[in-house]
């Protein structure tokens, strides 16, 4: 049996193109500060016409295999989480098989998982379960979360983003699952969904999605606490975790969510809540749960009370989501990547609680335990490989007018056939995959900016430039 199963290695890719939220705010005619302070966002990444969820996932998988020196033959399961539908039948996983087929490895289980932003977590659980199961063949699992989050013109547009993250799964990992401490909440809601298959844009009831998110959070936290308490024979509270990582559509919701956990601890009379907090939250102790979701005063007071704890336990997880926006399935894991980026030397022995939310709705809160690990599978090497600061720094800012033009082109191209892209790859880093053509049979073709040295015996991965 595999021991200490979890995440061995991570790499992240996001497009080199972004728009500043401050500029977008002015362009959209929103009041100054609405996107930056109100939503808490700094920038938003987006795909130009040469990138999409498939190219991003090809890029991130190739990069992970190269940088951690993993032979593609060592991958036994490949799972993709995505809600960006490019084909109603053919999975994104099958596009990624191009990397492995060339190395003679077609013996790879797994397909795509879809339910809004939760698909990546479902994919990750599948991989972890496989490594822990009797069907495990000793090879690695690989999870890819890839999404391009775009919204129609309107209030939801600034909550978009784009990225792909790859997570290598196996035993003796620096990031291990405490699988018994886990709570899920799944129900039927129309808060955000994509019924129009001719459009990439979702139908979204923004206010409902916020309430659904917070209700799911409460429910998952209650289940996780009660499971912990049953197993450990003592109460679980916020003080039992060093960091909390949230699905991050926009930072303000993350702030509200953490404050909500504090309110939960207050209602449960947990030891994590000090006398000052008790006094401030006291007036809200008799609210019904429905009232508590609507109370602006509770929201304000609980965020104030939670602020010092937020700075310690959540703030280090927020860099990438604030810089690239909501990346749907990749969002939670970009927050985890931010934590490793900012704190990798101080994470050994720490417990991290994650909250995954996908509209519709599916949600799970789960717990991870961190240790330094051994190279190449160490937290410090993960931070080095991800190279987050350099990737953020080397991006190119687009003014909002140009960003809107790009979205128009992509709108037009969504579901279309028989076109070639501009093949303008001047902004892409070498090694990045890009879309070249969709032919008359909707077949998509990709190339790589430079020919990477192949890790297989039989030549390079694609035709490079
Ligand atoms: N300066 C500072 N703050 C401001 C300003 C300003 N000038 N103007 C508004 N604000 C604040 C508001 O008070 C509000 O903050 P609060 O929530 O603390 O009160 C915040 O900015 C947002 O303003 P709203 O008027 O509530 O924004 P709006 O309703 O127009 O849109 C929303 C926000 C609903 C999040 C929208 O962007 C959306 O629908 N996004 C997609 C749905 C989503 O991301 N849901 C999250 C979970 S589901 C998922 O992950 C997809």
β-strands 6-13, 175-186 pairing: antiparallel
Q: Which of 44, 157, 159 to mutate to test the pocket of ligand 1 (most atoms within 8 A of CB)?
A: 159
Pairing of strands 192-193, 373-374: unpaired
By the 8 A CB rule, do 43 and 20 touch? yes
Query: Is 455 within a domain?
Result: no
Cross-strand bridge partners of residue 396: 17
Residue 209 alpha carbon to ligand 1 centre in Å: 11
Task: Determine the Cα–Cα distance for residues 395 and 324; give it in Å rounded to an integer.
Answer: 11
Has residue 251 been placed in a domain?
A: yes
CA distance 58 to 92: 10
Q: Across-strand partners of 446?
A: 435
The reported pLDDT for the residue numbered 453 is 56
- Cα distance between residue 174 and residue 348, in whole Å: 9
Catalytic positions, written as ranges = 83, 117, 247
- Cis-peptide into 436, omega within 30 deg: no
DSSP type of residue 154: S
Ligand 1 in reach of 117 Cβ (< 6 A): yes
Among 128, 183, 145, smallest CA distance to 320 is for 145
CATH number at residue 83: 3.40.47.10
DSSP string, 205-252: -HHHHHHHHHHHHHHHHHHHHHHHHHHHSS---GGG-SEEEE--SSHH
- Ligand 1 atom at minimum distance from 33 CA: 1
- Helix (H/G/I), strand (E/B), else coil: 186: strand
Q: Is the CB of 82 under 6 A from ligand 1?
A: no
Residue 458 lies in a domain: no
Task: Provide the domain count of the chain.
Answer: 1
Task: Indicate whether residue 35 lines ligand 1 (CB < 6 A).
Answer: no
Indicate the helix (H) or strand (E) that contains 163: strand 161-170
Asked whether residue 95 is domain-assigned, the answer is yes
**Residue 1 counted as domain residue:** no
Cα of 61 vs its chain's centroid, Å: 15
Per-residue pLDDT of the chain (465 residues; tens, 9 = 90+): 899 999 999 999 999 999 999 999 999 999 999 999 999 999 999 999 999 999 999 999 999 999 999 999 999 999 999 999 999 999 999 999 999 999 999 999 999 999 999 999 999 999 999 999 999 999 999 999 999 999 999 999 999 999 999 999 999 999 999 999 999 999 999 999 999 999 999 999 999 999 999 999 999 999 999 999 999 999 999 999 999 999 999 999 999 999 999 999 999 998 889 999 999 999 999 999 999 999 999 999 999 999 999 999 999 999 999 999 999 999 999 999 999 999 999 999 999 999 999 999 999 999 999 999 999 999 999 999 999 999 999 999 999 999 999 999 999 999 999 999 999 999 999 999 999 999 999 999 999 998 545 545 443 444 333
Tell me what pLDDT residue 289 has: 92
- Residue 198 is predicted with a pLDDT of 94
In terms of residue numbers, what domain contains 311? 6-448
* 437: its two tokens: 């053509």
In a domain, 439, yes or no: yes
Residue 243: how many other CB atoms lie within 10 Å: 22
Tokens representing residue 177 in the block: 């699952």
Pocket of ligand 1 contains residue 39 by CB under 6 Å: yes
Q: Are 65 and 72 in contact (CB under 8 A)?
A: yes
- List Cα–Cα distances, 199 to 18, 139, 321, in angstroms: 22, 38, 25
459 part of a folded domain: no
């Amino acid at each position: 049996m595999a021991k200490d199963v979890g995440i061995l290695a991570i790499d992240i890719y996001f497009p080199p193109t972004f728009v500043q939220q401050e500029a977008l705010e002015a362009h959209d005619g929103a009041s100054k500060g609405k996107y930056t302070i109100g939503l808490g966002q700094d920038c938003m990444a987006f795909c130009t016409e040469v990138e999409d969820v498939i190219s991003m996932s090809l890029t991130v998988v190739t990069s992970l295999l190269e940088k951690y020196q993993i032979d593609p033959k060592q991958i036994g399961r490949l799972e993709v989480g995505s809600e960006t539908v490019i084909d109603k039948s053919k999975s994104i996983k099958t596009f990624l098989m191009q990397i492995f087929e060339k190395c003679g490895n077609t013996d790879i289980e797994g397909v795509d998982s879809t339910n809004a932003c939760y698909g990546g977590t479902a994919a990750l659980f599948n991989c972890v379960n496989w490594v822990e199961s009797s069907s495990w063949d000793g090879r690695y699992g690989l999870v890819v979360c890839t999404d391009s989050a775009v919204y129609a013109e309107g209030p939801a547009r600034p909550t978009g983003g784009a990225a792909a993250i790859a997570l290598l799964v196996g035993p003796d990992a620096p990031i291990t699952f405490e699988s018994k401490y886990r709570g899920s909440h799944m129900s039927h809601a129309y808060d955000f969904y994509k019924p129009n298959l001719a459009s990439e844009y979702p139908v979204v009831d923004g206010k409902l999605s916020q309430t659904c998110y917070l209700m799911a959070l409460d429910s998952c936290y209650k289940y996780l606490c009660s499971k912990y308490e049953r197993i450990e024979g003592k109460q679980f509270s916020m003080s039992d975790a060093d960091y909390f990582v949230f699905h991050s559509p926009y930072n303000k919701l993350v702030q509200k969510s953490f404050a909500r956990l504090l309110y939960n601890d207050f209602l449960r009379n947990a030891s994590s809540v000090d006398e000052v907090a008790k006094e401030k939250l006291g007036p809200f102790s008799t609210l019904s749960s429905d009232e508590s979701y609507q109370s602006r005063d509770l929201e304000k007071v609980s965020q104030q009370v939670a602020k010092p704890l937020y700075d310690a336990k959540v703030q280090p997880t927020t860099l990438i989501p604030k810089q690239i926006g909501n990346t749907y399935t990749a969002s939670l894991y970009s927050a985890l990547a931010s934590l490793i980026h900012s704190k990798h030397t101080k994470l050994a022995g720490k417990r991290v609680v994650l909250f995954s939310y996908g509209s519709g709705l599916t949600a799970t809160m789960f717990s991870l335990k961190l240790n330094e690990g051994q190279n190449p599978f160490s937290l410090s090497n993960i931070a080095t490989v991800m190279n987050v600061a350099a990737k953020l720094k080397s991006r190119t800012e687009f003014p909002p007018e140009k960003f809107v033009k790009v979205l128009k082109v992509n709108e037009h191209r969504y579901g279309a056939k028989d076109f070639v892209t501009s093949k303008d790859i001047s902004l892409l880093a070498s090694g990045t995959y890009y879309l070249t053509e969709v032919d008359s049979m909707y077949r998509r073709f990709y190339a790589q900016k430079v020919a990477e040295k192949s890790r297989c015996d039989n030549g390079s991965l694609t035709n490079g430039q």
